[in-house]
Structure 1
């Protein structure tokens, strides 16, 4: 859950950096994408296996909590990745103006 929140914060920081014309090296996008895929897989594993395994070991309430955390992790990562993808396709107008030299 905390890792999903941290990766969402990374995407939010990158989103604001793209709108404020701050430069990030492409390796940071690669690291963020790798962490997103990794944490997305962890969230799916928590959502699918967490309920049964945690319920067997710690009781029913813990299984439900693990299942809910897994679902929330997947939703947070997917939503932040979709928002980042949209803003990579459609950057801010002033960034287009700086990169292309065309004034909008």
Structure 2
């Protein structure tokens, strides 16, 4: 598994300390679209290794992070660059669409 878990405790060091853009997948185990998107996120993490750091945030386990970024629908994917959120995507999507969305940031 290429994507790692992100928590409130390691969030700042992850997004601020990364030399590459960071993609965070906000998800929950009970969410069908999240489960559909998960393998796509994993594939993208493998394919873009070294160009993009990929993390997953379980909104049930990390409600503070979900609240901080106003996550109201899941799955939500947020791209962080230089420690700041620069792009967000809501809902499941095909791999080609996700790669297309990420092109501008890698």
TM-score, L = length of structure 1: 0.24
The structure carrying a bigger strand percent of its residues is: 2
Q: Which structure's CA Rg is the greater one?
A: 1
The structure carrying a bigger helix percent of its residues is: 1
TM-score, L = length of structure 2: 0.24
